Amino acid sequence: MTIDQACASRFDEYVDLLANVVGHADRRAPLFAYCHGLILPGDRKSVEPMAARIDPAHVRSMHQSMNHFVSESGWSDEAMLRAVRHYALGPMLSQAPLEAWIVDDTGFPKKGKHSVGVANQYCGCLGKNANSQNAVSISLANRAASLPVAFQLYLPEGWANDDVRRTAAGVPSILDFMTKWQIALALVDRLIADDVPTAPFLGDAGYGNATEFRDGLTLRGFPYILGIGPTITVWPAGCGPLPPCPRTGKRGQPAKLLRRDADHKPVAVKALAKSLDASSWAEIEWREGTKGSMSSRFAVLRVRPAHRDEKRTEVRAEEWLLIEWPESEPDPTRYWLSTMPTTISFDDLVCLTKLRWRIERDYQELKDEIGLDHFEGRGWRGFHHHASLCIATYAFIVAERARISPPRPCTIFGLEEPAISEGARWRRDSPTG
C-alpha cells in the first residue's frame, strides 16, 4: 500500500468515526460524500460541483442527498467539533505542548441579502465594509500546528431583531443579539464545560478593546495577550487614579469612587509609546518565516488599564503593555495588554504574542483549500453544518501532518501546507462588533 493509499484509508476510518455523531444511518453516505468532496482537489466546494466530482453519473440524486444532509439534517455541530477535537488534539500535542487559545473572526463576502447574518459590515478578508457574513472562532495552537475548535456566526443586531428573517433562516429562537466578544466568551464557556485544556488567550484589538472581554477572561482564569487600539488609556507605572474624596463633614456616606481630574489623568498608549526613550526599545526575533527570521522593535512596560476607573472603588491590577514600533515606521504599529506572569521574559512574551498568526493560517487554508467560504445556502443550520464539516476535514490534515516528525510540509490528497508570513493580512483589525 502506498503512502497516499494509506492516508486515504485513514481518512475513510476517520469519517466512519464521525458518522457516529450524525445519528441516522441514512446520513452516513452523504457525510462520506461531503467530506470527500471537501478534501479532494477542486476549484469550488459548494454542493453541486462536489456532487459532480463524487458521482458524475448521478449528479442530481447526489446533490439532493448532500444538500439535505448539510442544510436540513438535525445533527449537532457541537458534537461534531467535539469528536473532531478528540481525534486531532492528541497528534497535534505530540509535537509540542498547547501554547494558546486564539480568538478571531472572519468574513464571507456575499452578493445577495437573504443569507443568514448578511449585512453591510466590516469584512476582514476585504479590509473594508462590504455585504458579508462574519463568524467568530477559537483555535487551539502550539508552535507546530493549530486547530479551530469552536465556531459561530455573528448575527448583526438588525438580523437579531427581525423575527421574519430569523424564522426564514432558521435562527434558533433562544439566540439573542451578541457582540463578537460576547460570542467569543460563550464559546469559551462551552470549551471549558468540555474540559478542553487551557492555555493563555490571544486575540487582536477587535476583542482586546473590550474591557468586558478582558475582564471575562480573567474571571475564567485565562491569562491573555490581547491587541488594543492606540487610543486606549492606561496609567504608567507608579501612577494611578486619585483616591476617593475625603469626607468633609459628619453627615452622609464617605465617598468610595476613585477620581481623575484635568491635571491627573491616564495617557493613551500611543502617547506613552512616543514618550519612551531609545533605551526602552529592543529588536526581538520571534520565529523563522518563509523569507528568513521574523523580527521587529518592541518595548514592554507595566501599566494599569484605566477604563472607567472613576466608576470603580479599587484600582485595576498592573498588566504588561507590549508595543511594536518598527524603525521603518513613523508611528508605533501595534499594542497589546497582557496578564502573563511578571516572570515571563521579554523574548517569550513577544514570541507568544506573535503565535496569533496561526489562526490566520487556519482561515487561509480553510478557505483556499477546503472551501469554508464556498457554501451557497441561506440558512443558519446549513452555514454551521458546512463550517463544521470543513473544520472536520481540516482536522484530519492537521493530524496527518503531525505524524511527520520533525514537522515539515507535506502533501495530503493534493493539498500542500501553505507558506504564510506573519504579516499576511487574512483579517485586519476591526472595531468590536
Neighbouring C-alpha atoms within 13 Å toward the C-beta of 107 = 25
For residues 157 and 268, state if they share a domain.
Answer: no
For residues 156 and 8, state if they share a domain.
Answer: yes
Which three-class secondary structure state does DSSP give residue 293?
Answer: strand
**pLDDT-based confidence at 308, cuts 50/70/90?**
confident
Which of the listed residues 304, 339, 374 is the one where a domain comes to its end?
339
Cβ density class 263-287: b for 16+ within 10 Å, e for less: eeebbbbbebbeeeeeeebeebebe
Instruction: Tell which residue, 348, 361, 303, 328, has the closest CA to residue 146.
Output: 361
DSSP string, 6-17: HHHHHHHHHHHH
Neighbouring C-alpha atoms within 13 Å toward the C-beta of 246 = 1
For residues 73 and 13, state if they share a domain.
Answer: yes
For residues 321 and 407, state if they share a domain.
Answer: no
Q: How much is the pLDDT for 307?
A: 84
Q: How much is the pLDDT for 422?
A: 44
For residues 138 and 26, state if they share a domain.
Answer: yes
Expressed in angstroms, the distance from the first to the final Cα of the chain is 51
Instruction: Tell which residue, 200, 147, 98, has the closest CA to residue 363.
Output: 147
Report if residue 428 sits inside a domain: no
**pLDDT-based confidence at 417, cuts 50/70/90?**
very low
Decide if 385 contacts 21 (C-beta within 8 A).
Answer: no
Q: How much is the pLDDT for 432?
A: 41
Which of the listed residues 339, 369, 385 is the one where a domain comes to its end?
339
Report if residue 217 sits inside a domain: no
Report if residue 64 sits inside a domain: yes
Decide if 320 contacts 300 (C-beta within 8 A).
Answer: yes
For residues 188 and 82, state if they share a domain.
Answer: yes
Q: How much is the pLDDT for 405?
A: 59
The number of folded domains in the chain is 2
- Name the DSSP letter for residue 195: T
For residues 394 and 290, state if they share a domain.
Answer: no
Residue 230: partners with Cβ closer than 8 Å, 6 or more residues away = 268, 269, 270, 331, 332, 335
Residue with grid cell 457525510, as numbered in its chain: 31
For residues 298 and 364, state if they share a domain.
Answer: no
Q: How far is C-alpha 27 from the chain's CA centre?
A: 30
**Amino acid at the residue 94:** S
Report if residue 309 sits inside a domain: yes
Tens of pLDDT, residues 363-407: 999 999 999 999 999 999 999 999 999 999 999 999 999 987 555
Q: How much is the pLDDT for 313?
A: 76
Tens of pLDDT, residues 152-186: 999 999 999 999 999 999 999 999 999 999 999 99
Say whether pLDDT at 127 is over 50. Answer: yes
Say whether pLDDT at 299 is over 60. Answer: yes
Report if residue 348 sits inside a domain: no
Domain span holding position 92: 3-200+359-416
Residue with grid cell 466568551, as numbered in its chain: 185
List for the chain the helix, strand, coil content (%; round to 5). Answer: 40, 20, 35
Q: Taking the CA atoms of 8, 14, 20 and 23 in sequence, report the sign of the dihedral they define.
A: negative
For residues 236 and 126, state if they share a domain.
Answer: no
Q: How much is the pLDDT for 406?
A: 53
How much is the pTM? 0.90
Spatial separation of the C-alpha atoms in residues 147 and 358, rounded to whole Å: 9
Instruction: Tell which residue, 16, 142, 149, has the closest CA to residue 402.
Output: 142
**pLDDT-based confidence at 118, cuts 50/70/90?**
very high
Report if residue 350 sits inside a domain: no
Tens of pLDDT, residues 169-228: 999 999 999 999 999 999 999 999 999 999 999 999 999 999 999 999 999 999 999 999
Report if residue 250 sits inside a domain: no
Higher pLDDT, 67 or 309: 67
For residues 145 and 267, state if they share a domain.
Answer: no
For residues 111 and 179, state if they share a domain.
Answer: yes
Report if residue 349 sits inside a domain: no
For residues 58 and 146, state if they share a domain.
Answer: yes
